[in-house]
Amino acid sequence: MGSGFYFEKNLIATNYHVIEGSNKIVIKNLGTQAKSENVRVKSYSEELDVAILEVATMNSTSLQLNTVSPEIGDNILAIGNPKGLEGTISTGIVSGIRELSETYNLIQITSPISPGSSGGPVLDSNAKVIGISTFTLHDSQNLNFAIPSNAVLNLKSKSMKWEPQISNVSRQAKTTESVVLSFFEKVSSEFNESIALKNNSSQTIKNIKGLILYYDDRGNPLSYQFITLEDILPPGMSKLKTIRSFDQEQKFCYKYGKDDYRVRDYEFTVQFRLLDYDVVENNFMDNLLGN
């Protein structure tokens, strides 16, 4: 079960993962008990997690798309059916814009979304759709994301499966274990941290995007930050990167850190979550290595 919205009188936008693997799709409009089974998948993209459904019966109203990228801090409204609670509305703001490619940006929002919300519209203050609710990071506070509306327009003219040309690299065979945070510690008593991202896959990768989550010794979330690493990483290689510490008041020490950190007040632990990366094509590496 998921959500969706009419952007034309006979076209509905939703997430691909909502309809993935289905052999039957049933549409129920909010505010009615009528259901329609005369639905077909017009086009979809696994890469963008967007699907366009075509219905035989025209709907009297549809939402207007706004393909202009929103600004951080803009007020938004998310509508969906979380846990089957139809027509749930949640307010929030745009809390971040995360680059996916030259064409698409992932919209980070504070409006809560839950299973069942996927595919619902995210509206701006003018009631225009800026994105589609897509996923949330579990065990995190208000880390929710939407795919931008321009993905819907690009899919509208396509038939069945379509994958956009994201870049000059291949985006296949990716897993969340392909990149790990292999080294993490404070830099002396400075306000920065040193991390190293290691390529655990068998492919050469670049443009790594990840999320670092900080927790206290009871497992309560303290802070988070997004990180990117554009460098090319061959299989098994690591790259060191310096980032700004969340602990600017110098109160925390690593839970399993060195003795000289025990004078600090609180212990904390770290989790790393891989969001995305690009797989570099073989011919690209050949040229890089001069072969």
Catalytic residues: 17, 49, 118
CA distances from 35 to 16, 25, 55, 122 (A): 20, 10, 11, 24
Between strands 39-45 and 160-161, the pairing is parallel
Tally Cβ neighbours within 10 Å of residue 90. 21
Residues 193 and 188: their CA atoms lie apart, in Å, by 9
Sign of CA pseudo-dihedral 235, 179, 245, 188: negative
281 neighbors 288 (Cβ within 8 angstroms):
no
Q: Which candidate, 8, 45, 60, 271, places its Cα nearest to that of 164?
A: 45
Phi-psi region of 160 (alpha: psi -120 to 50; beta: other; left: phi over 0): left
Query: Which residues on adjacent β-strands are paired with residue 39?
Result: 55
- What single-letter amino acid sits at 34? A
Q: Which candidate, 93, 87, 139, 84, places its Cα nearest to that of 115?
A: 84
Task: State the burial class of residue 84 (Cβ atoms within 10 Å of its Cβ: 0-12, 13-18, 19+).
Answer: exposed
